[in-house]
Chains A and B, each alone.
Chain A
Amino acid sequence: MSDASTGVSASGMAPVVMIDRGPDIHEPSIPDDWELVCGLEVHVELSTATKLFCGCANAFGAEPNTNVCPTCLGLPGSLPVINEKAVTDAMRLGRALNCTVQPAVMARKNYFYPDMPKDFQTSQYDKPTNENGWLDLPDGTRINVERAHIEEDTGKSTHVGGDGRISSAEYSLIDYNRAGVPLLEIVSRPDIRTAEEAKAYVSELRGIVLALGVSDARMEEGSMRVDANISVRPRGTDELRLRCEVKNINSISSLGRAIQHEANRHIDLYLTGDRPIQETRHWDEEAGRTRSGRSKEDAEDYRYFPEPDLVPLEPSAEELQAIDESMPQLPAAIRSELMTAAEIGVEDAGLLVDRGDAVFALEAIGAGADGSRVAVHLINNLADGVGALTPASFAELVAMETGGDLSSTQTKEVLAEMAGTGGSAKDIAAAKGFEAMDTGELDGLIDGLIADHADEWSRFCGDDEGDAKKMAGFFTGQIMKATRGQADGKVVAQLLNARKG
């Protein structure tokens, strides 16, 4: 909800901030007498220079099978050597999620799949790097984090022929470039109660990941993937019913739709005396529904055991201290700082954080600019990015605006040019001939207008508020016409009101 006078939403309104403001959730919401129980497993690809266990480049989009070596191809005799940067990144995220960051053991998760070169995935099992943390949503809801562990990614299969799945394919093509790319799997507790909370959780987690700089976290490129474990229960109970794991969710808005759809599917089953089966389901974006995948009842036994080719990860006290000391400001802290500095609500603060403009805003405010004007311009007039603008030049422009040297219309025009080409506010304003109007000049104009429009003036000074407002518009319009838009609307309003006496 926007406030027309400032363009900034009122503080404390809509609780949820989303990065992709995709279509709203069309699925009917869950009936009031039912409650969603949802936990999320989020995979984040770390943007390290090299892979988790070898020196191959960790790069998206290379020619298939060019970033490979004996280790990430799992050739006989090859051995892994862990990427220390990936371990540090994992611990940094753990600290940011308030986890216990602890000595850890890599483990083998055994199952056969052609795009997994060793036919086991090196992961963490009973001794993960990070355990028992939490993430607070912008509205203050706390979602507990069970663990955030390190593992390697698989290659990428393309199944040709049949229905596109491996079981019916004529043949499959495999690209091992992604095999061995470091991943963090962040597992939440089943604390999520609404689709909006799920979206807020992923959005906030993404913000933290970006702030830490450990991943580009792009859902569309697969560098951030979200699986949702979904069940429902009658509201008021604390039972945990059979859950389904929904995969193949490609955006945050899809996540909301998938959760609503799947929860309603469960409720419909219960209402007809049936029940869901525990299984993996795939979200079909086009059809807007989930489809049955592999049944969890014949789930594989992964036969976890400690990876004998790697030694335990034992972070030193110094390492952990260094991580804490270099911890960047996280989205929640930046939001709160922005809310105070720019006098804006949590949603707008969240929007600026999500757009990556928060630090820019705070720097401009730090350089003396009025906080709420900074927020208005960034949100409404710089939606496509700040371009060539610097915080200092931006602050100079805002100071000219609030000082009355430029009208808001002129400010917008100058701002657009500054963002496009750079340059100082003063030079651009001067080049455009935007000189501040002398108030004496304006006073003279107002004298003339009062004389020529006595009727209108008395209506402006009258008790009918609506009519007075209308007349304010009339006089302002006349002055703007006379000055060809050069006058500052705010100054004009002040002068008019002062005359009203």
Chain B
Amino acid sequence: MTHAQPAAFGTAHSIAAAVRSGERTAASVVDEHLARIDAAEGEVNAYNHVMAAEARAAAADLDVRIAAGEDVGPLAGVPVTLKDNMCTRGVPTTCSSKILEGWHPPYSATVVDRLAAAGAIAVGKANLDEFAMGSSTENSAFGPTRNPHNLGTVPGGSSGGSAAAVAAGFSPLSLGSDTGGSIRQPASFCGLVGVKPTYGAVSRYGLIAFGSSLDQIGPFATDVADAALSYEVIAGHDERDSTSVAQPALAVSSKLDAGVEGLRVGIISEMVGGSIEGLAPDVLARTTAAADALVAAGATVDECSIPTSIHGIAAYYMVAPAEASSNLARFDGVRYGLREDGNNTAAMNTASRTAGFGDEVKRRIMLGTYALSAGYRDAYYGKAQQVRAKMAEEFASVYERFDVLLTPTAPSTAFAFGAKADPMAMYLNDVYTIPSNLVGHPAISVPFGAGDDGMPIGVQVLAPLMGEVVMFQVAAELERAAGGAA
């Protein structure tokens, strides 16, 4: 049974062009998508909250402005889905956690404001693994999201709802957040383009933090051009985020047709050899095919080595939980969200957190608390930070010889619900995506054919800091080679 219908009513580009020209109205575009959501959401469960009324109101307003001759922006009338860890003023924002159920933020994330300013219309808040902790969206307090390509498999995670919404045709674009692969892995599982920008390229203001030094917002799209367009809308300096890169958004659409002639592509040997368990043969085959396609298009491909990359997961599971244990402390029942009674304040804090957080969140809070505790901090958190620094040196050295690197996105195609019940097995799913987060570099997952089970497979292009232009350039070539360009 499949509900896959990506770009059911056109890509973002085509919708925006039609709405801007008056050929289609924003209202009709929104109605089409809301009808599609009505039809399939019951089985996909991509959303925690569908913003039907808000979307219709925004569309009507946009149509008035367009009729008045106003330029409403490059995403005019394009429905977008927002991961439910991004604050939306007056609209429930839950992180798929009971602890935030019913909370209406009094402000919107910078990316939400930027999308709206570009004419995009938010249609819903997408399901995720609670607080973005997971790789399957099974850890949601509000039930799992299903992969539209096969309802028996997961959409990946943690941005599973955002990926499923685009794959199902609920919206041509969505935003996810990526702390260790949470955009790229679901993009691979759902046959989409998914982008993890350079750390700091997109403002985190209003993104409910998981691992603050790793989190980055990025788009899901049905093709590279839409991903590039939305990147240009959401990226660029934001004075409200101190870690925001102090420059405007890179013009990543500029070289989509430039080809890859003369570009140097590296294959990280640790990521295709025997050192990482569980890489499925069909995924390896598609990665090799992608490398061949780039050679055919005029690039050179060679192996390189990032020795610390195999320690990425270990380092990540110290740093991310450590930061999470601190970031999630504020959910204490005092100011917002769930409050369970207790005899005193401390008891109320404990009762609220015990009832409000799911198992995986509790596991990571405990892990992170331990990693930062006196006597262990240097051995765990401190050592992990050293691994990050070492890994960054290794990448820098490799990028002296290569323009981009190519790896699989995930070790396999989408797996069945419950298949990774062991947390360690689940964590291993992020082995190819985690290094980019640890070093802050950009990465993109591009669909490149299907596996033996017929499910989508993505390959990943890594680029150096602020190297998004060449990253999108290579991604566009892979898209052409895969025959997937819309």
Give the interface of A toward B (CB within 8 A). 70, 73-82, 108, 110, 112, 114, 117-120, 166-169, 172, 174, 301, 303-305, 308-311
Nearest 5 Cβ contacts at the A-B interface = A119-B329, A303-B372, A308-B212, A308-B213, A76-B208
Interfacial chain A residues near B87, Cβ < 8 Å: 75-77
User: Which listed residue (A70, A80, A112, A169) contacts B332, Cβ 8 A?
Assistant: A112
Which of B103-111, B275-283, B453-461 is the interface stretch?
B103-111
Q: How far is the CB of A469 from chain B (nearest CB, A)?
A: 74
| B332 A301 Cβ-Cβ under 8 A | no
* CB interface residues, B 372-393, toward A, < 8 Å: 372-374, 377, 381
Chain A binding site: helix, strand, loop or mixed by DSSP?
A: loop
Nearest-Cβ distance from residue B373 to partner chain A, whole angstroms: 5
Check: B206 CB closer than 8 A to any chain A CB: yes
Q: Are A77 and B105 touching (Cβ within 8 A)?
A: yes
**Residues of B close to A311: CB separation below 8 A:** 242-243
Report the separation of the CA atoms of residues A108 and B329 in the bound assembly, to the nearest whole angstrom.
Answer: 12
Interface check B415, CB cutoff 8 A: no
A110 pairs with B242, CB closer than 8 A? no
Taking CB atoms, residues of chain B closer than 8 Å to A168 are 344
Q: Name the one of A73, A77, A114, A166 contacting B209, with C-beta atoms under 8 angstroms.
A: A77
In Å, the complex CA distance between A112 and B346 comes to: 8
Q: Scan B429-468; emit 1 where CB is below 8 A from any A CB, else 0.
A: 0000000000000000000000000000000000000000
Residues of B within 8 A of A174 (CB): 334
CB distance from B352 to the nearest CB of A (A): 11
B205, A117: Cβ atoms closer than 8 Å: no
CB neighbours (8 Å) of A73 from chain B are 335
Interface residues of B (CB under 8 A from A): 85-87, 93, 95, 100, 103, 105-107, 109, 204-209, 211-213, 239-243, 322-323, 325-326, 329-332, 334-336, 344-346, 349, 369, 372-374, 377, 381
- Would you call B330 and A117 a contact (CB within 8 A)? yes
Closest to A310 in B: B242
Q: Which of B204, B243, B330, B374 is the most central at the interface, judged by chain A CB atoms within 10 Å of its CB?
A: B330
Which residues of chain B are near A172, meaning CB under 8 Å?
345
Measured CB to CB, the closest approach of chain A to B244, in angstroms, equals 9
Contacting pair B329 A120 (CB below 8 A): yes
Q: Is A303's CB under 8 angstroms from B330's CB?
A: no
Known: A73-B335, A166-B345. A119 touches B330 (CB 8 A): yes
Chain A residues positioned under 8 Å from B322 (CB to CB): 305
Q: Is the CB of A74 within 8 A of B241?
A: no
Given A70-B106, A75-B106, A311-B243; A305-B377 close (CB under 8 Å): yes
Please tell me if the beta carbons of B206 and A309 are within 8 angstroms of each other in the complex. no
Query: A117 vs B329: C-alpha distance in the bound complex, in angstroms?
Result: 9
Residues of B within 8 A of A112 (CB): 329, 332, 346, 349
- Min CB distance A432 to B, Å, is 63
Q: Is the CB of A303 within 8 A of B377?
A: yes
A114 proximity list for chain B (CB < 8 A): 332, 334, 345
| Most chain B C-beta atoms within 10 Å of own C-beta, residue among A74, A114, A168, A305 | A305
Contact A110 B326 (CB under 8 A): yes
Q: Is B373 within 8 A of A303, CB to CB? A: yes
Question: Which B residue's beta carbon lies closest to that of A299?
Answer: B374
Residues of B within 8 A of A304 (CB): 372, 377
User: Which residues of A have CB within 8 Å of B85?
Assistant: 77
* Closest-CB distance, A400 to chain B (whole angstroms): 60
Q: How far is the CA of A334 from the CA of B336 in the complex (A)?
A: 52
Shortest A168–chain B CB gap in Å is: 8
Q: Are A167 and B344 in contact (CB under 8 A)?
A: yes
Residue of B nearest to A113 (CB): B345
**B212: chain A residues within 8 A (beta carbon):** 308-309
Q: Are A74 and B330 in contact (CB under 8 A)?
A: yes
Most chain B CB atoms below 10 A, which of A79, A81, A174, A304: A79
Counting chain A CB atoms within 10 Å of each CB, which of B85, B87, B208, B334 scores highest?
B334
Please state if A305 and B381 are interface contacts (CB–CB under 8 Å): yes
A305 to B371, CA, bound (A): 11
Chain A residues contacting B372 (CB-CB under 8 Å) are 110, 303-305
Question: Which residues from B are CB-within-8-Å of A303?
Answer: 325-326, 369, 372-374, 377
CB distance from A307 to the nearest CB of B (A): 8
A117 vs B103: C-alpha distance when bound (angstroms): 16
A81: chain B residues within 8 A (beta carbon): 239-242
Write the chain B residue with the least CB distance to A311.
B242
Are the CB atoms of B100 and A76 closer together than 8 Å? yes
Extra A-B contacts (14), CB below 8 Å, given A75-B335, A79-B205: A76-B330, A77-B93, A78-B205, A112-B332, A114-B345, A119-B329, A119-B330, A120-B326, A167-B344, A301-B373, A303-B325, A303-B377, A308-B212, A309-B243
Q: How far is the CA of A118 from the CA of B212 in the complex (A)?
A: 14
A82 to B377, CA, bound (A): 26
Q: Which residue of B lies closest to A157 (CB)?
A: B345
Q: How far is the CA of A108 from the CA of B377 in the complex (A)?
A: 14
Give the Cβ gap from A302 to chain B, nearest Cβ, in Å.
Answer: 8
Which chain A positions have C-beta within 8 A of B105? 70, 75-77
Kindly state the separation between the CA atoms of A331 and B241 in the bound complex, as whole angstroms.
40
Query: Roughly how many angstroms separate A114 CA and B205 CA in the complex, as a whole number?
Result: 24
In angstroms, how far is the closest chain B Cβ from the Cβ of A50?
A: 14
CB-CB < 8 A to B206: which residues of A? 77-78
Cα of A246 to Cα of B406 in the assembled complex, Å: 61
Output the least CB separation between A405 and chain B (Å). 64
Pair A309/B326 contact, Cβ less than 8 Å: no
Contact A108–B330 (Cβ < 8 Å): no
A309, B242: Cα distance in complex, Å: 7
Residues of B contacting A117 in the complex (Cβ-Cβ under 8 angstroms): 330, 335
| Bound: A114/B347 CA distance, A | 12
A467 → B minimal CB distance (Å)? 80
Inter-chain contact B336/A75, CB cutoff 8 Å: yes
A112 to B369, CA, bound (A): 13
B329/A118 in contact, CB under 8 A = yes
CB distance from B125 to the nearest CB of A (A): 13
Q: How far is the CB of A86 from chain B (nearest CB, A)?
A: 14
CB distance from B458 to the nearest CB of A (A): 28
In Å, the complex CA distance between A364 and B344 comes to 61
- Docked complex Cα distance between A112 and B342 (Å): 15
Q: Using Cβ atoms and an 8 Å threshold, which residues of chain A touch B374?
A: 301, 303
Instruction: Collect the chain A residues with CB atoms within 8 Å of residue B336's CB.
Output: 75-76
Q: List 23 A-B contacts (CB under 8 A).
A: A70-B107, A73-B335, A74-B335, A76-B93, A76-B105, A78-B206, A79-B205, A108-B326, A110-B329, A112-B332, A117-B330, A118-B330, A120-B326, A120-B329, A166-B345, A167-B344, A174-B334, A301-B373, A303-B326, A303-B377, A304-B372, A309-B212, A311-B243
